[in-house]
């Protein structure tokens, strides 16, 4: 089962992305982008995805695997096997570039074998399904940063490796650890550098996924727009692929 692109005409839900990189230090969000910097021993760094300018980026399909009412938590991995991925996603106001605090950044993605919680079996694997693994999100801090720990996603038929993301404001946290209400400002997807993905695909358990992998260039959703289309800036967390990666992106949202 694959995602289906959809055209969204609601201008109020446009988003812009401010690329990370050397010149991003001139922005007010520069300090936030430096949060959780990798160790000095980091050996592999993907190229900066785009110039540091405010660039409109289109909404992307929610896809068929979204589930309402997921947990608000900083670590969504639930012990699923895979290479560590530490995301630092910064949310800013597109008009002022000021960090947006207390925005809920929610993500969901498949595991190393291409299975989504709540839909296990769609990629041909039999594994326990609790409906919550690799789903959830956190509120941004005063610097507009949402730090989320997960694993590098795997792949399933017809799609390149990706993570789904939503940004909500004015949500109400519930006693069961979830959230309700609020306004959804952005629905998009996060993408991964193909050279790094090729290395990840050789490491277990990714190497046991026998489904033919769709590359970034072959994907029907990613449009080769770099950071403006959700391409993460990835930095190695150690000297080996298995040590994991940090992923950064700055999303500007239209609050109107």
Higher pLDDT, 71 or 94: 71
- pLDDT for the residue numbered 184: 94
Q: Which residue's structure tokens are 């693994």?
A: 133
- pLDDT for the residue numbered 3: 52
Instruction: Please provide the distance, in angstroms rounded to a whole number, between the alpha carbons at the two ends of the chain.
Output: 34
When the pLDDT of each residue in the chain is averaged and rounded to a whole number, the result is 82
pTM value is 0.82
DSSP string, 138-176: EE--TTSEEEEEEE-----TT--SEEEEEEEES-EE-TT
| Torsion angle in degrees (nearest 10) through CA of 172, 173, 179, 182 | 20
**Gap between the Cα atoms of 53 and 216, Å rounded:** 23
**Gap between the Cα atoms of 164 and 190, Å rounded:** 6
Q: In this predicted model, what pLDDT tens digit does every residue of 20-34 receive, in sequence order? A: 433 333 333 333 333
């Amino acid at each position: 089962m694959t995602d289906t692109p959809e055209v969204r005409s609601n201008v109020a839900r446009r988003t812009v992305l401010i690329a990370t990189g050397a010149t991003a230090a001139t922005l007010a969000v520069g300090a936030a982008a430096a949060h959780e910097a990798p160790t000095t021993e980091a050996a592999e760094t993907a190229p900066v995805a785009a110039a540091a300018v405010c660039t409109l980026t289109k909404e992307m399909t929610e896809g068929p695997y979204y589930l309402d009412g997921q947990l608000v938590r900083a670590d969504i991995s639930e012990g699923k096997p895979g290479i560590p991925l530490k995301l630092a996603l910064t949310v800013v106001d597109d008009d002022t570039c000021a960090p947006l605090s207390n925005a809920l950044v929610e993500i969901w993605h498949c595991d190393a074998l291409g299975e989504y919680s709540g839909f296990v079996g769609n990629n041909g694997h039999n594994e326990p399904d609790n409906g919550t693994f690799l789903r959830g999100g956190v509120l941004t801090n005063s610097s507009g940063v949402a730090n989320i720990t997960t694993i590098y996603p795997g792949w399933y038929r017809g799609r390149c490796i990706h993570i789904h993301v939503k940004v909500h404001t004015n949500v109400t946290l519930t006693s069961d650890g979830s959230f309700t209400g609020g306004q959804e400002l952005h629905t998009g997807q996060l993408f991964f550098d193909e050279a790094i993905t090729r290395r990840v695909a050789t490491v277990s358990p990714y190497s046991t996924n026998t489904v033919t992998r769709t590359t970034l260039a072959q994907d029907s959703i990613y449009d080769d727009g770099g950071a403006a289309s959700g391409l993460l800036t990835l930095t190695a967390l150690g000297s080996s692929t298995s040590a994991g990666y940090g992923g950064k992106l700055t999303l500007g949202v239209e609050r109107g």
